[in-house]
Structure 1
C-alpha cells in the first residue's frame, strides 16, 4: 500500500496504520465492557435492594474520581506485582505478566462503564412506565418486558450519550501507550526518533485520530436515525 508522502515518514508510516488498527481494536473491546457494565450498573442503581444500589453508586462515584492513567498503572504494574507476591507466598516462583491489551481494555471499560451506568440509568428512567405495565398486563414476564420493551427504548434514549462516550474513549486509548501497547500514540513516539520529524509524525497521528472520530460521528448519525425510525413512523 502506497502512502502519501507526508504519511510515509521515511518508510515508517505504515506503523501508524498498524497503531490506528490497534487503537480501534482496544477501543471497541473496551466499549463492549463499558456497555455491559453500564447496563448492569444502571439496573443495580435503580434496584430497591440496598445491597445492589449502594455498591453501584459507590462504583460510579469512586471510578469517576480517579484519573484513568493512575488506574492503568495500578492495574498493569501494581496488579503484576500483587499476583507475583501471591504466587510467591503460595510457593510458586512462576513469572506473571499481564497482557497490555487485556489490561488496557479492562481499565478503559471499567472506567467508562461508570459513565455508561449514568447514561443508561437516565435512559431507563425515560421509558414510560405505562408501556412496561402494558407488557406485564399482556402476560409477558419481567425478563421479556425488559428485552422487548425496556432495553430497546432505553437504547434509543442512551444512544446520543453513548456515541459521545465512544468518541472520548477512542481518544483516551492513547493512555495505553504508557503500558507498552502499540497503539497509534505509542507507534508515533517510536517512529519519531529514527525519522527526526516530531511535528510531522504527531501531526500525521492527529490526522488519523481525526479520521477515526469523523467516521465514528457518521456512524453515530446513522445509528440515531435507525433507532428513531419507528418513532417517526408513529408520529
Structure 2
C-alpha cells in the first residue's frame, strides 16, 4: 500500500503546542514474513495458532531543542536506531501484545509497551479499531527526555530533575479505515497519551495530556 497524509502531534512529548506534518505512508509484506510500515520492519520469527513472536527494526526520532522555546538550553536528543521484539496472542478480533525496544544511539534507552488492540469490520468497506497500552521506560530514556541535569538547569532556567525508570505513559486510540473501492482507502486515527510517574512530574512537561490525530489516503496494489 502506498499513500500519504498528515498527522498532528505535540511539538515534543509533554508540550502543550502542536505541529502538523505531512507523512508518507508505505506498507508492504514479503513472503508472509517481513512487514514494512512507516515505523520500521517486523520480522515474523515464530507463529503457532494464536501466538506470534517477531523481531523489530525501527528508529527513534529524538528531539531538538529548537522544537519549542520551553526546550531552550536542554540540548538535542539525537536520532537513534531501534531493535526489539514483540510477542502477541490473538483472541478473535483482539490482540494482546508486549513489546520491548532498545535504542542504539540517541537516548540509548529501553522502552516497553503492553496493551490490547481490537480491529473489527463493520461492513465490507469499513474497519474500525481501538487500542489501549501502558508504556514503560528505563532510566536512560527517562533522563534523556524528562530529566534536567545541573548544566541543563543553568542554561534553561528549569529546575534540576532526575527522572527514574518506570511507567511513563498510558495510550488510547481509535481508528477507522474505509475502502473507497477495491484499491483506494482512507484511514483516520485519533489518540491520546497521558504522561504518568516521573514523566508527568518533569519540569520539561507543560501538559500531561498528549492528543494526536492522523488522516491518510492510500492505494492498495
- Bin of the TM-score, shorter chain as denominator length: under 0.3
Higher strand share: 2
TM-score between the two structures when normalised by the length of structure 2: 0.28
Which structure features the higher share of helix residues?
1
| TM-score, normalisation: structure 1 | 0.27
Q: Who wins on radius of gyration, i.e. which is larger?
A: 1
